[in-house]
Structure 1
């Protein structure tokens, strides 16, 4: 079982497939996982296996830890390409997320002004005005949209909120007026559904790609990231999408007029 639990509030730097030398900012507790999704492919494992017993890091804790690490890296002559909000759950669920973004911009400008600020979000809170305004301030507002198929989302992303509505999420993505990068996981293999049946999780076919691509066109993002499994997953029956499949999807996005990268 996958049990990668990241330190909090700062970890790394690490080399990201998509972002370069990345200093991680984890706004979740350091002793477990809290997320509004419970994805079957999450490297941090399932929510139920990593209950937390400590609090979210405060705004002050994040700022102090980030300042120390950025000053150390600066003095060592090492500067991150990106400051990335990710870790053990959904970063925008931290109650101080908007203020933490303001602090991060200030510290970035002081210690590593060329670095980008990225947020990896599953999009569940982008309907909140304060969250949306904070995300408008970052360089890379990377929002998850694995599919537009509601049944597939329940099978693989497993949102914790019964009210989750992917069509509403798409409408909220449009409100960024293009200041959004869509991130989509493509994979294959099987999982066991809530009825105990083994079912396919392959979302690389036209059945899933075509309506997803129409949503991309409607959102009009500044870019798209398509990727596949890279690390151990808690559901061990998942498989990578092939290079050829990802390249084909990437090329269709580019043909529609949007920059797109594929990570294998």
Structure 2
């Protein structure tokens, strides 16, 4: 299937399934994806698949100026975002000035749209960096990925490009003391002759055990909406997502479902 890259630092606003009217923030190059994961379902494609390698990340000053200009333009049109969301062409916390960018964003939000929330969609790969961890504590919606409670499933789906340690990741997520949202992408199909399915009994039970340890304030579960790098991947039916959600609700978790 066709995938795409975000070609601006600030994009939208768009209507997000999970977050409302969202103004997107891309801290990665506009012509290529940079990520510590290489998720097989990523709408931005695979690492190195699109664009060239000459593109660079925008500077902190460029990000601040782009957001300032966008917010001023929206206000002139009588518009305000519900949320300012860091996502874009890869993992936003890879930006070397991520913590400073968050401080600038809080400053601009407080000046132009005080009711807007600030969200970061992250794969939890940089939580060992103290500056990243502290920055995530400052925002409203600290949304961290956990696609299974099984390491082999995460490696298959998310393809981390570093020595991935699930136990360490869960410990780092626990360190937020509940001040985070867990997002989980459920997907089915096959890839290179192997079944892809993180809705198995073993996956779900291990995922629930991980949630018991992490104790997130909310859990967002969803499935494929846009094109992915592989035609063989499929959406998980809404009925099945709701069954998974009910299992988590039975344990007392606040769950949202996007089918």
The two structures have a TM-score, normalised by structure 1, of 0.96
Note if 1:153 corresponds to 2:154: yes
Which runs of at least 4 in structure 1 moved beyond 6 Å after TM superposition?
A: none
Counterpart mapping for 1:93-242 below 5 A: 93-161=94-162, 163-192=163-192, 198-242=193-237
Shift of 1:7: 2.0
- 1:60 maps to which residue? 61
Q: Specify every segment of 5 or more residues in structure 2 that has no aligned partner in the other structure, as ranges.
A: none
Deviations 1:164-192 (A, max 9, x none): 11111100000001011000011111111
- The answer (yes or no) to whether the contact 1:29–1:52 under 8 Å persists in 2 is no
- The answer (yes or no) to whether the contact 1:5–1:31 under 8 Å persists in 2 is yes
Q: Which moved more, 1:201-210 or 1:116-125?
A: 201-210
- The answer (yes or no) to whether the contact 1:34–1:89 under 8 Å persists in 2 is yes
Counterpart mapping for 1:29-44 below 5 A: 29-44=29-44
2:48 and 2:61 map into 1 onto residues whose CA distance is 29
Shift of 1:3: 2.7
Deviations 1:45-91 (A, max 9, x none): 11121243121110000000000000111111100000000010000
Cα RMSD (Å) of the superposition? 0.9
Note if 1:3 corresponds to 2:3: yes
1:255 and 1:104 map into 2 onto residues whose CA distance is 37
- The answer (yes or no) to whether the contact 1:145–1:182 under 8 Å persists in 2 is yes
1:231 and 1:145 map into 2 onto residues whose CA distance is 20
- 1:26 maps to which residue? 26
Aligned residues: 258
Counterpart mapping for 1:49-88 below 5 A: 49-50=49-50, 51-88=52-89
The two structures have a TM-score, normalised by structure 2, of 0.98
- The answer (yes or no) to whether the contact 1:33–1:52 under 8 Å persists in 2 is no
2:226 and 2:73 map into 1 onto residues whose CA distance is 29
1:8 and 1:145 map into 2 onto residues whose CA distance is 27
Is the partner of 2:247 in helix, strand or coil?
A: helix
- 1:256 maps to which residue? 251
- The answer (yes or no) to whether the contact 2:149–2:208 under 8 Å persists in 1 is no
Deviations 1:216-246 (A, max 9, x none): 0110000000000000110110011111110
Shift of 1:148: 2.0
Q: Specify every segment of 5 or more residues in structure 1 that has no aligned partner in the other structure, as ranges.
A: 193-197
